[in-house]
Structure formats: structure tokens, C-alpha cells
């Protein structure tokens, strides 16, 4: 084989390798550009979704704050109700004591009244008003 043929074969092989390398380089650049565009699109969507997620987080925080306020209000109302129940029990005890004292006075009045038709010894449940409380 002649030297010139050998040179042409080497030149052709180098040219083919150069063309293949150039095509591979172009394909890689296109693929990277496509990936860059796709990544940017994903980042934009994530940014929009981030706003929506932030709004949902803010709503969750607001709802939790309202729940805490409602819980605090409920606890305050429960404490107020307990205090009112204690006051009612105290008033009930005072009223019962007053009713017992009143019944004793009425029994005493009936006992010492010569015109009274009731027996001298007091009977339990004689004055029905004390049982209405």
C-alpha cells in the first residue's frame, strides 16, 4: 500500500472521529440545555407551590392560634362556672340554714301560741317551704 493511501486513510479516520466527537459534543450540549430548561421549569413550579404551601402554613398557624384562644376561653369559662357553682352552693347552704332557723321560729311560735291548733312538739316536714329549696 502506498504511503499516500495510508495518509488518506488516517486523515479520513481522524475526520470521522472529529465529526463523531463534534456530534457527541453538540448532542451533549443540547441535552444539557434541555435539562437546564426542564430544571428551571421545575424550580418555577416549586416556587409557585412554595407560595401556596406558605399560605397553607399561615392558615394552619392561624387556626392553631384560634384553637388555643378558644381553649383558653373554655378554661376561663370552666373556672367561672366552678366559681359560680361554689357561690350557688354557699347560697344554698345559707338559704337552708335560714329556712331551718325560720322553721324553728315558726315551731316556737306555734308552741307558745295558746290559739295555735298544732301540737307543741314540732313535726318534721311540717313547713313544706323548706323542701322546695
Distance, CA of 34 to CA of 28 (rounded, Å): 10
Higher pLDDT, 123 or 96: 96
Phi, psi of 118 (to 5 degrees): -90, 155
Task: Let me know if residue 57 belongs to a domain.
Answer: yes
pLDDT tens, position by position, 77-101 = 999 999 999 999 999 999 999 999 9
Residue 130: the pLDDT is 45
Distance, CA of 102 to CA of 131 (rounded, Å): 13
Q: Which of 52, 127, 71 is nearest to 96 (CA)?
A: 127
Q: What angle do CA 66, 71, 76 make, to 5 degrees?
A: 125
Residue 116: the pLDDT is 72
Task: Let me know if residue 71 belongs to a domain.
Answer: yes
Task: Let me know if residue 111 belongs to a domain.
Answer: no
Neighbours of 28 (CB within 10 A): 10
pLDDT band at 119 (very low <50, low <70, confident <90, very high): low
Q: How many domains does the chain divide into? A: 1
* pLDDT reading at 13 higher than 80: yes
Task: Let me know if residue 104 belongs to a domain.
Answer: no
Residue 124: the pLDDT is 53
Q: Is this prediction's pTM over 0.85?
A: no
Task: Let me know if residue 89 belongs to a domain.
Answer: no
With a CB cutoff of 8 Å and minimum separation 6, the contacts of 92 are 133
Q: Which of 123, 120, 124 is nearest to 110 (CA)?
A: 120
Residue 20: the pLDDT is 97
Task: Let me know if residue 103 belongs to a domain.
Answer: no
Q: What is the mean pLDDT of residues 27-39?
A: 97
Handedness of CA 124, 126, 128, 133 (dihedral sign): negative
Task: Let me know if residue 99 belongs to a domain.
Answer: no
**By mean pLDDT, which of 49-53, 68-72, 84-88, 116-120 is the weakest?**
116-120
Q: What is the mean pLDDT of residues 30-42?
A: 97
Task: Let me know if residue 41 belongs to a domain.
Answer: yes
Domain that holds residue 34: 1-81
Amino acid at each position: 500500500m502506498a504511503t499516500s493511501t495510508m495518509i488518506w486513510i488516517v486523515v479520513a479516520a481522524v475526520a470521522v472521529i472529529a465529526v463523531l466527537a463534534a456530534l457527541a459534543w453538540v448532542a451533549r450540549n443540547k441535552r444539557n440545555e434541555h435539562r437546564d430548561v426542564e430544571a428551571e421549569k421545575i424550580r418555577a413550579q416549586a416556587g409557585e407551590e412554595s407560595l401556596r404551601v406558605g399560605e397553607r402554613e399561615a392558615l394552619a398557624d392561624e387556626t392553631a392560634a384560634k384553637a388555643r384562644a378558644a381553649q383558653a376561653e373554655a378554661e376561663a369559662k370552666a373556672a367561672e362556672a366552678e366559681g359560680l357553682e361554689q357561690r350557688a352552693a354557699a347560697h344554698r347552704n345559707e338559704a337552708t340554714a335560714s329556712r331551718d332557723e325560720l322553721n324553728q321560729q315558726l315551731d316556737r311560735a306555734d308552741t307558745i301560741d295558746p290559739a295555735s291548733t298544732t301540737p307543741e312538739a314540732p313535726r318534721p316536714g311540717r313547713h313544706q317551704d323548706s323542701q322546695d329549696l
